[in-house]
Structure 1
Amino acid sequence: MSSGLQTLLYVDLHCHHNTHPRSSTADLKKGSKNTNCPSTMFVIIKRTADCRGRNRSKDKHIGQGYPTIITLKWDHNHEVASADALRERDVSDGATEKLLELYRSGHSPSSALDTIKYDLQEAADRAHCPDLQSCYRVFYKEFRTHYGDTGGAKMMLFLDKKVQDFNENHNDECVKLETTCDGQTVIAICTPLMKRVHSMWKISKEMVFVDSSGNMDRQNCRVFLLLTHSPAGALPLGVLITSSESESTLTSAFKLLHSILPESAFFNASNGPGIFMTDDCTSLRLALHEVYPNSVLLLCHFHLLQAMWRWLWDSKHKIDKNDRPHLLNIFKAMVYAETEDDLHSMFKRTTEADATSLKYPGFVAHVNEIYERRVTWSLAHRKDLRTRGNNTTAYCEAAMRILKDKIFYRLKAFNICQLTDFVLTRLENYNVRKLTDIANNRLNSNNLISRFYPCPKDVSPDAVTKLGNCQEYTVKSGRENTYYNVNMDIGICTCPIGRTGAPCKHQAAIMHKYSIESSNFLPVQSVDMRKLFYTIATGGDAIDDHWFQPLRSGILQTDNCRNISVSSPKDASSTEEASSLEGTPH
């Protein structure tokens, strides 16, 4: 393409199947589109006047108003309208824009291509349906523009700018970035919704679950979630993104997060929550103890049993395949022993009397080592703690699945900058929608309702007696003359299930008989509770109380003499324990 004194435009075009290969054998290369096609086209647009508006050209065609000359040599040596020819066309601007829209919605190059193919219902013309290589080119070009390179100084500049913009938009320090002395990257996140959970959700001072996952971005950074429980599922209290799992890095990360928490963090518990529950990660637990020395650190039963199972299956320990289930079961019996005496008795039997375990001195030594830390994992040692029936980090497992499936769509983030951006925007929006649905009573799963809202069929209404205090009740067991005391204010029952604050059938019986709201269960019917969920989700209270009124008035009334306190149902690890207790005469 060129221009001159006599021409405005001169274009020399050739067929895109003539790629001017460097070698004579390039056209024989497998997959090459070169056919040495001789077809050409020349386009010349001549000037009709000079700078003074005069026409001195002797070309009669210009005088007649035809300044353009097109010379077309249509001599293709290949099919023009075949599928193979269309497959080699340049990707159109429209197709590129469609790809960008899909990438901004969270698609990968392969899933975006599948979506385009589905919409078009045909995949022959590359101009409208690009190939995977073209999708990747657009993908990397787009995300480098928004998030910088996949690593290095340029990416960190983009990340720092993203952090500053988010804090300025919310007029608060919600994100903080730091590089440790050994060069590790640490990002602490406490979004406005997370800060409202800290300030307004009473249970956040009782128990916090912490778990991590990797393989979410191309640098394989670790993402740590801090969650508390509620009938709406896990509520977020903070997110950490680190480039390492070392103790020093995690200690810096938790200190950085603590520096951006609100003054009312953990519902005004300045020294941290009462309990942290984690897996058996030494660096994580040491970092938590360093930052929150007054909190109790408990081990997740699921991860503990899983670790034992892996130990038994490790070939270097030489455990016979037929003995592995027995050894796991006797260890599991230790974990779920209800009293300290039972625990000690089972430990002695395992290490001194069980014939199978005595065959493996390594197993006995391993059990002895774990037993030294029994305070962190034994059910008998946590019966007086406010665990609300949670003995695993099941909330974290569910939250991680949501993060990977619904936030990242099982794709790796382009870099740590995009990973941070998705946590700040998509994860925040997901939690807003979830809490808003609870506030609007838009539960769409009967299974979810039944899990949080059990029917007290084993408890007669006549067995429930209200005491003088408006929150104190006694419930007589339906199978024997045993009475349990229930405090509906804090959601505690003296039965084996409800003693840690977990929902039980005795609380449900009181709720049904006296038509009061129990915040241990769903659906949420009280105006105060639904409005609280809405305020946590949105940060505002503009909606009138009438919006949250139940359809049938008088079913469940708000009890103004008690504070709102919420807990969750039994988690997966305690299902077996709870079901056995349900079948035991009370």
Structure 2
Amino acid sequence: MIEVLKNRQSLLQKSGGELVIKENPFIAVVVTPIMRRAFLQDISTEMVFVDSSGSCDQTNTCVTFLFTSNKTGAIPIACVLHTAQTEAKYTLAFASATEAIEVENKKFDPKVFMTDDSASERNALSAVFPNSMLLLCTFHLCQALWRWLWQTDHNVKKEDRRTVMEMFRNVLYAPTLEDSEEYYDFLISNNIVQSNKVLYDHLENLWVRRKEWCISFRNNITRGNNTNNYTEASIRIFKDIVLQRCKVFNSCALVDFIINVFENYYKRKLLEFANSRRSKPQIDYRNMCFRAREINIIYQRDNTIFHVASEKDSNLFYTVNAKIAFCDCPSGTGGKFCKHLCAVEQKFGILFKTSPVLSVHDRIQLAKLAVGHSAPEEFYKNMDSNTTDLENSFQSTNSVPAKVELATAIDLQVNAEESESRFKKEIIRMRCEFNRITSTLETNQSPEATLSIIKFNALMNNLKTPSQILNFLEAKNRICGRKSRKIRVQPTSISRRKNKALPQSGRIQAGRPSKNEKLKRKHSLGSNISHNLPNAKLH
């Protein structure tokens, strides 16, 4: 097996990757060309997500994934194959991964590692990366505590479990240090906790490690990434798409799947984003613009500092620094793109680096990440040199026809008189369009047209305020056609059904079971907590 892996090692090195092989104990670190380019583009210097998975081959080899993130989601840095999930094996695995990832004088030393609460994995990371900060995934922390509360030997009453969990979540998601300490004092002084020594000690042990999981202690370094879901989703992709829910024969086959299938999957994904074939960035930006449409910007200073009013409290203001794309609101602290940054971006035409919109530079970087330096930069540049990235994002977000003359936010803010004249001109144009539509309908009278006009007039009658009218104009496909008729089944087939929760007139849904038919416990942790039910295991 080692000889076969050494042959793969020479082939991978020729294509720009790296394969490090250790025999006693067995360790194989796979760094594909995309992983190498991701490391060289400096997108792995801030935060790296780490998680392990077993049951991938017949010999039960453990696969540890190292991922970073960008606007498209998770990007792999390395895949480590080792024999067991012990602290000693993890230490050797991470040391070998560092050896494979580093090139020339460029060191692999991320500022933050995000993991679940695996003691052996975290101790190994501390030994190999002493300068990095280790953070806990908030989802896995809540999931572990909820399962701990449901264990009968801890003597927590069923009616008290939800109360304890909700108080702990207040501590977890407290926006400031003072609030988290206040919520913890309230939790620890509760009668439920005071009457249960085991629960009291468990919560105290968690509080000692509060810097690893409490949001208020780390909100300025995570850029909004408080869970390890990037690796969870990527491992699901690896097992479902790459391995197709099957175990491979041995570690050699596992390395082949990583080098070929796993690499090609991320290559296709990155090219789809670079070629604007995925609408996720546009959808995220459109949703953010919808939330930021009524936010008021009070004043600005030197086109770099903006003071934005809060939606909930008119006396509260947040400061936006355009140079570093930073907002001091609870959501934007740490560099996450928030609605206040979006409001400044819309009004003043500034495209921040943290915005979900993919600029020309972002698309070029994604193409180079997928195929290397052979990616043609001219192909991704704007055909019109006078068009900015923000104008392109507005056009793609609002889906305005090409023949309509567009005005950017900057154009309408330059001169108030010009903006007023533009508004009057468009109002006259709207009136002309309505006159044209009504004159066209007058020449085509029919009962169907009368019914449609009645429905439209009723819809227009509901638009009372200017904000309702503007929301209607921005909406897409607001007026929907009549739903298609349901295909019904024979009465005898309904009488033969054993499950009475199934629909009584339609056919049974093919494929995945319908919502009414699902009898299994939900995988939603928040839903299970609110209904005071034990959480289902995901894997």
TM range (shorter): 0.5 to 0.7
Alpha-carbon contact 1:431-1:537 (below 8 Å) kept: yes
Cα distance between partner residues in 2 of 1:264 and 1:494: 38
1:438 equivalent in alignment to 2:234: no
Residue 375 (structure 1) shift: 1.1
Cα distance between partner residues in 2 of 1:361 and 1:462: 51
Residue 434 (structure 1) shift: 1.1
Cα distance between partner residues in 1 of 2:108 and 2:35: 18
1:392 equivalent in alignment to 2:232: no
The one-character-per-residue Cα deviations of 1:122-145 (angstroms, maximum 9, x if unpaired) are: xxxxxxxxxxxxxxxxxxxxxxxx
Cα distance between partner residues in 1 of 2:94 and 2:321: 35
Pairs within 5 Å for 1:318-357: 318-351=155-188, 353-357=189-193
Cα distance between partner residues in 1 of 2:122 and 2:76: 19
The residue aligned with 1:32 is none
* TM-score, normalised relative to structure 1: 0.62
Cα distance between partner residues in 2 of 1:423 and 1:249: 21
The residue aligned with 1:496 is 330
The residue aligned with 1:287 is 124
Alpha-carbon contact 1:515-1:556 (below 8 Å) kept: no
Alpha-carbon contact 1:188-1:241 (below 8 Å) kept: yes
Q: For 1:240, what is the secondary structure of its paired residue?
A: strand
Residue 229 (structure 1) shift: 1.7
Q: What letter corresponds to residue 225 of structure 1 in structure 2?
A: F
Q: What letter corresponds to residue 381 of structure 2 in structure 1?
A: F
Residue 333 (structure 1) shift: 1.7
Cα distance between partner residues in 2 of 1:527 and 1:284: 39
User: Is the alpha carbon distance of 1:552 and 1:233 closer, same or farther for their aligned partners in structure 2, counting shifts above 3 Å?
Assistant: farther
The one-character-per-residue Cα deviations of 1:447-478 (angstroms, maximum 9, x if unpaired) are: x7236851154455762655326x54433334
Alpha-carbon contact 1:215-1:222 (below 8 Å) kept: yes
Query: What count of residue pairs does the alignment treat as equivalent?
Result: 395
The residue aligned with 1:177 is 21
The residue aligned with 1:302 is 139
* TM-score, normalised relative to structure 2: 0.68
Residue 387 (structure 1) shift: 0.5
1:164 equivalent in alignment to 2:5: no
1:482 equivalent in alignment to 2:319: no
Alpha-carbon contact 2:80-2:93 (below 8 Å) kept: yes
Residue 360 (structure 1) shift: 1.7
Alpha-carbon contact 1:449-1:523 (below 8 Å) kept: no
1:370 equivalent in alignment to 2:241: no
Residue 392 (structure 1) shift: 0.6
Pairs within 5 Å for 1:440-459: 440-444=275-279, 449-450=283-284, 454-459=288-293
Cα distance between partner residues in 2 of 1:307 and 1:551: 54
Match of 1:197 among 38, 60, 65: 38
The residue aligned with 2:66 is 226
Q: For 2:263, what is the secondary structure of its paired residue?
A: helix
The residue aligned with 1:31 is none
Alpha-carbon contact 1:459-1:477 (below 8 Å) kept: no
1:539 equivalent in alignment to 2:372: yes
Pairs within 5 Å for 1:200-219: 200-202=41-43, 204-219=44-59
Alpha-carbon contact 1:225-1:238 (below 8 Å) kept: yes
Match of 1:257 among 97, 109, 132: 97
Q: Which has the higher helix share?
A: 2
- Structure 1, unmatched stretches of 5+, are 1-154, 559-571, 575-586
Residue 328 (structure 1) shift: 1.6
1:521 equivalent in alignment to 2:521: no
Alpha-carbon contact 2:363-2:380 (below 8 Å) kept: no
Alpha-carbon contact 1:357-1:363 (below 8 Å) kept: yes
The residue aligned with 1:133 is none
Cα distance between partner residues in 1 of 2:80 and 2:376: 33
Match of 2:28 among 187, 191, 197: 187
Q: For 1:517, what is the secondary structure of its paired residue?
A: coil
The one-character-per-residue Cα deviations of 1:101-148 (angstroms, maximum 9, x if unpaired) are: xxxxxxxxxxxxxxxxxxxxxxxxxxxxxxxxxxxxxxxxxxxxxxxx
1:316 equivalent in alignment to 2:150: no
Cα distance between partner residues in 2 of 1:191 and 1:163: 11
The one-character-per-residue Cα deviations of 1:74-109 (angstroms, maximum 9, x if unpaired) are: xxxxxxxxxxxxxxxxxxxxxxxxxxxxxxxxxxxx
Cα distance between partner residues in 2 of 1:248 and 1:452: 48
User: Is the alpha carbon distance of 1:365 and 1:299 closer, same or farther for their aligned partners in structure 2, counting shifts above 3 Å?
Assistant: same
Cα distance between partner residues in 1 of 2:4 and 2:10: 10
The residue aligned with 1:62 is none
User: Is the alpha carbon distance of 1:465 and 1:419 closer, same or farther for their aligned partners in structure 2, counting shifts above 3 Å?
Assistant: farther
The residue aligned with 1:94 is none
Larger Rg: 1
Alpha-carbon contact 2:175-2:330 (below 8 Å) kept: no
Q: For 2:103, what is the secondary structure of its paired residue?
A: coil
Q: For 1:431, what is the secondary structure of its paired residue?
A: helix
Alpha-carbon contact 2:138-2:213 (below 8 Å) kept: yes
The one-character-per-residue Cα deviations of 1:187-206 (angstroms, maximum 9, x if unpaired) are: 1122221121112144x211
Alpha-carbon contact 2:176-2:216 (below 8 Å) kept: yes
Alpha-carbon contact 1:301-1:573 (below 8 Å) kept: no
Q: For 2:237, what is the secondary structure of its paired residue?
A: helix
Cα distance between partner residues in 2 of 1:173 and 1:538: 13
User: Is the alpha carbon distance of 1:186 and 1:211 closer, same or farther for their aligned partners in structure 2, counting shifts above 3 Å?
Assistant: same
Alpha-carbon contact 1:459-1:506 (below 8 Å) kept: no
Cα distance between partner residues in 1 of 2:288 and 2:159: 40
Cα distance between partner residues in 1 of 2:31 and 2:62: 17
Alpha-carbon contact 1:453-1:508 (below 8 Å) kept: no
Cα distance between partner residues in 1 of 2:362 and 2:375: 15
Alpha-carbon contact 2:150-2:161 (below 8 Å) kept: yes
Q: Identity of counterpart residues, as a percentage?
A: 32
Alpha-carbon contact 2:86-2:120 (below 8 Å) kept: yes
Q: For 2:67, what is the secondary structure of its paired residue?
A: strand
User: Is the alpha carbon distance of 1:362 and 1:462 closer, same or farther for their aligned partners in structure 2, counting shifts above 3 Å?
Assistant: closer
- Structure 2, unmatched stretches of 5+, are 392-523, 527-539
Residue 441 (structure 1) shift: 0.9
Q: What letter corresponds to residue 72 of structure 2 in structure 1?
A: A
Cα distance between partner residues in 1 of 2:383 and 2:329: 31
